Structure 1
């Protein structure tokens, strides 16, 4: 990534104001540095050369104290706004990455990018804070303080300025050499962390199955190896950061020493006055200090820069084009699939599927695990475009391809209950929704949520995070009942429920159908299949049939 990538300003609006503020503070810092050096030189020169007492140099000392206080205030303001801007920019990037990844759809996430995006959006982007807090301010100071102090030195003593101009390029040259040495380390460290995060997410998702077969300790060695690799990469980066910092310190010390020796010799010979020599001597380290800090902070920010590159890669991935045709009323529309095939890692699942989800009917998708039932649901929801075949909304006015329909208008008419429902944080009352308390109570009685509420001391004010998996399933089912959406999609609604919960789901399906709403089910249990008006068997390898 370039020192200040324009993409960062484009995707994180908080960074724009921060960069402008940092540039302004950098110009102010340059003026204060020059003022401090000149005031200090004049005060010391009068005291040493002219023998002035404290009363004579009192005003200079007072102004020097004011300048030092202002520098401290500028530094404090920089630190304060840097942390705020970093937090806001990281939050904006995180929100953008998550939203864009969701817009890219389940197929893109299923290619292996999903766990990587999760790691990037959580821990990865947090490493961008050192870039904002440490690296970027020093970069601005290098562009303001260094040339300003160099011009002042040129006006005071051209010989010292010539020495500084001769040795100053050595700093970026050594920085470039160190950068070449560390090239790829941060990317490797981030990639290792993403692999570790993906491994952990897969392990947690499959832990119940692994425990059922007594294999829960199997992945431990792999996770340990990835953790050790990430630790070695991090320690290697830190080691090179310390070595490069030592190189830059040594280089700047020798450069300032060259200027100091020249000033000392000319002071002895009388070719330079004391005030000018002191001013140049105080300003000489300020020429190198921003560049040295840029090199020192580069390694601290390199992980964040690598994470930003990964974020930009996600944000710049093209999103499938949205439709422009307004969505019809799904209460009178049939969702028709003809010859639909989707190529996944398991093959063509489904393969040449024909399906009609007619209004007011309950249609169940059956078939073996991995046959493509959930993929078919994604196609019906418009989350996934089929590789072959057509998906149309057939109504009184004709057929409209689902790809041409605006997603927002279509999704607003669909209530979707996935296998693992995701409930936003908050009390049950706001999560479930509903027009009034009576409607919520009736829906809770239908789905069995009333029995759950009876055991909760806070009732409807209970936080969602305190519920079990089965209880959360009933909350999600209640929300689907209260939703006015004409199309209700239930993906394995009885997966985490006992026999009593299964009866509740059956009663809910019957109630939804009695209301004239369309229900699409994904089911394995025979009782749930029997509650449907039509059962479509979905299987790979051209075995999808309807009965």
Structure 2
């Protein structure tokens, strides 16, 4: 029941749930009709009892209709609110999935220009800020037109002066609300910017807590975050002041209009030129005439908040896709080689990081990539992982039958320099690669990664909680656990970034030996500068000034 659209604006999102909103407005319109009928019946009952000399028993049929209209209107209003809320929740859920999928397509390279705090704030507070806009603001904006129009139509044959007063004072309220809203929008934009800065600063302070404590700047960081929080609080109070001002403007004109209607009818009743039932009905309808405007005013800040939040969300949707999309199904045929043919890539136009790269990574061979910082090692790995699309050339993967596979990245296993471990047990961390893996499979991959001995030495073995980022483990244990996890997927291509960096000699030798064993029936590519892993490499490639060549070739050129 939700239309898909590529229009990433508030108007486009509104069209996607137009059916839900249409149902909400339709139910609200029927409820408005029942409200007018309810007040009409009530006015007739009061007039008959007060001036028609009717007994209460004679008004029982009318009282039953009054109760029916009251209950039916309540149920319709509840159903209208539920339809609008259901549509908005479905939309927000869909938008969150679409935005996450888009960010996956953008990849870490495309996300480098955005801070983590800004992205998290847009995904959390930004999307949640859109929900009141669709659930409250839009239905109330529609009812602000429907119900007053019906009341004006009802009042017109009853009294022309009351019709004229309501018709003139009603449109003034949205005009003054719009004037106040211009100022409120500027404040909401500033509030959203401050929220982004606050989220980014708080996250930076948490991530850099160790460095801040070592340099004695922890208190300064806390004071800076507290100052930003206080500025955000002050801006939020400014928004509340504007909201109160908007309500004051609304109440002033509503009270003035109702008072004018009451004075005009009161004078005419005293002169005997108006009947009680008509006057009473108009006085009952006059407050209801302004009720949708009150509800709209209460939700007007939802529009301003959504407009401010949409700026951050639109920035994320506008990021171009940099990563290569590939199938999640692994290749069943064994791959024998991955070739880079005339490969060129870069991050800015006319400024390539790699130029005309030609190299081959073969099955059963541990290939080592070396080079100074900034030479292009990371760019080459990003191309292999599919996180960056090449400017020119291609990467070809062949199987044992000589067939070329387009989605070979689905068979890659990746171990970064700083593996990510979640707060959970050893088994839960391993099962991130394969949730259905049994304990024997876990023991097998742990043995291959030379991690089984230290896992079994833990107090609860595979059920031992290890803490977020593996705080309870040493650096070598974290690397071996990450290697075991990636082996649980049984990848045909294994890529590792500095797997032995910052390890003691014993741990370094264990990790290097485990990687060498994994390379016996796989394509293994390792980024490293030094250490024991070099002794196991059968192919050493050096990246220098955007070019890739093997170390023997470099030695021959030097000779």
Separation of aligned partners in 2, 1:497 and 1:150: 80
Q: Which of 2, 7, 13 in structure 2 is aligned with 1:8?
A: 13
Contact 2:105–2:323, Cα closer than 8 Å, also in 1 = no
Contact 1:350–1:375, Cα closer than 8 Å, also in 2 = yes
1:155-304 equivalences under 5 Å are: 155-304=157-306
Separation of aligned partners in 2, 1:370 and 1:224: 38
Return the offset for 1:480.
Answer: 1.7
Return the offset for 1:195.
Answer: 2.0
Q: In 2 relative to 1, CA 68–492 (structure 1 residues): closer, same or farther, beyond 3 Å?
A: farther
Q: In 2 relative to 1, CA 141–391 (structure 1 residues): closer, same or farther, beyond 3 Å?
A: same
Aligned pairs, number: 532
Q: Which of 513, 520, 533 in structure 2 is aligned with 1:507?
A: 513
Separation of aligned partners in 1, 2:500 and 2:323: 35
| Residue 359, structure 1, aligned to residue 362, structure 2 | yes
| Residue 56, structure 1, aligned to residue 62, structure 2 | no
Q: In 2 relative to 1, CA 372–192 (structure 1 residues): closer, same or farther, beyond 3 Å?
A: farther
Residue in structure 2 matched with residue 534 of structure 1 by the alignment: 539
Contact 1:337–1:392, Cα closer than 8 Å, also in 2 = yes
Residue in structure 1 matched with residue 124 of structure 2 by the alignment: 122
Contact 2:494–2:524, Cα closer than 8 Å, also in 1 = yes
Residue in structure 1 matched with residue 416 of structure 2 by the alignment: 418
Q: Which of 321, 339, 349 in structure 2 is aligned with 1:335?
A: 339
Separation of aligned partners in 1, 2:12 and 2:423: 32
| Residue 308, structure 1, aligned to residue 310, structure 2 | yes
Residue in structure 2 matched with residue 520 of structure 1 by the alignment: 525
Q: Which of 376, 388, 396 in structure 2 is aligned with 1:393?
A: 396
Separation of aligned partners in 1, 2:454 and 2:67: 69
Contact 1:116–1:198, Cα closer than 8 Å, also in 2 = yes
1:130-169 equivalences under 5 Å are: 130-169=132-171
Moved more, 33-42 or 141-150: 141-150
1:334-483 equivalences under 5 Å are: 334-336=338-340, 338=342, 340-343=344-347, 350-352=353-355, 354=357, 356-360=359-363, 361-369=365-373, 371-386=375-390, 390-393=393-396, 395=398, 409-422=407-420, 427-428=428-429, 430-433=431-434, 437-451=439-453, 453-454=455-456, 460=462, 468-469=470-471, 470=473, 473-483=479-489
Return the offset for 1:353.
Answer: 7.5
Contact 1:37–1:282, Cα closer than 8 Å, also in 2 = yes
Spell out, residue by residue over 1:235-279, the C-alpha distance to the aligned partner (whole angstroms, 9 max, x if none): 211111111111111111112222222222332333332112211
Residue in structure 2 matched with residue 27 of structure 1 by the alignment: 29
Separation of aligned partners in 2, 1:490 and 1:23: 57
Return the offset for 1:174.
Answer: 0.7
Return the offset for 1:392.
Answer: 2.5
Spell out, residue by residue over 1:503-535, the C-alpha distance to the aligned partner (whole angstroms, 9 max, x if none): 3421321122112x1111123441223332233
TM-score (normalised: structure 2): 0.82
Separation of aligned partners in 1, 2:302 and 2:234: 16
Spell out, residue by residue over 1:292-312, the C-alpha distance to the aligned partner (whole angstroms, 9 max, x if none): 321232114522342234324
Separation of aligned partners in 2, 1:78 and 1:151: 23
Return the offset for 1:335.
Answer: 3.0
Contact 1:103–1:319, Cα closer than 8 Å, also in 2 = yes
Separation of aligned partners in 1, 2:496 and 2:94: 33
Separation of aligned partners in 1, 2:463 and 2:14: 42
Contact 1:90–1:125, Cα closer than 8 Å, also in 2 = yes
Return the offset for 1:190.
Answer: 1.3
Moved more, 415-424 or 477-486: 415-424
Separation of aligned partners in 2, 1:158 and 1:316: 54
Spell out, residue by residue over 1:52-95, the C-alpha distance to the aligned partner (whole angstroms, 9 max, x if none): 33223333233323333333334444555555544443332222
Q: In 2 relative to 1, CA 378–211 (structure 1 residues): closer, same or farther, beyond 3 Å?
A: farther
Separation of aligned partners in 2, 1:410 and 1:273: 85
Contact 1:337–1:390, Cα closer than 8 Å, also in 2 = yes
Contact 2:431–2:485, Cα closer than 8 Å, also in 1 = no
Return the offset for 1:209.
Answer: 4.2
Gap runs ≥5 in structure 2: 1-6, 552-559
Contact 1:126–1:304, Cα closer than 8 Å, also in 2 = no
Q: Which of 487, 490, 515 in structure 2 is aligned with 1:484?
A: 490
Separation of aligned partners in 1, 2:64 and 2:453: 76
Separation of aligned partners in 2, 1:399 and 1:445: 33
Return the offset for 1:378.
Answer: 1.2
Residue in structure 1 matched with residue 71 of structure 2 by the alignment: 69
Separation of aligned partners in 2, 1:74 and 1:478: 58
The 3-state SS of whatever aligns with 1:176 is helix
The 3-state SS of whatever aligns with 2:490 is coil
Moved more, 36-45 or 500-509: 500-509
Gap runs ≥5 in structure 1: none
Separation of aligned partners in 1, 2:504 and 2:19: 56
Contact 1:338–1:354, Cα closer than 8 Å, also in 2 = yes
Contact 1:40–1:64, Cα closer than 8 Å, also in 2 = yes
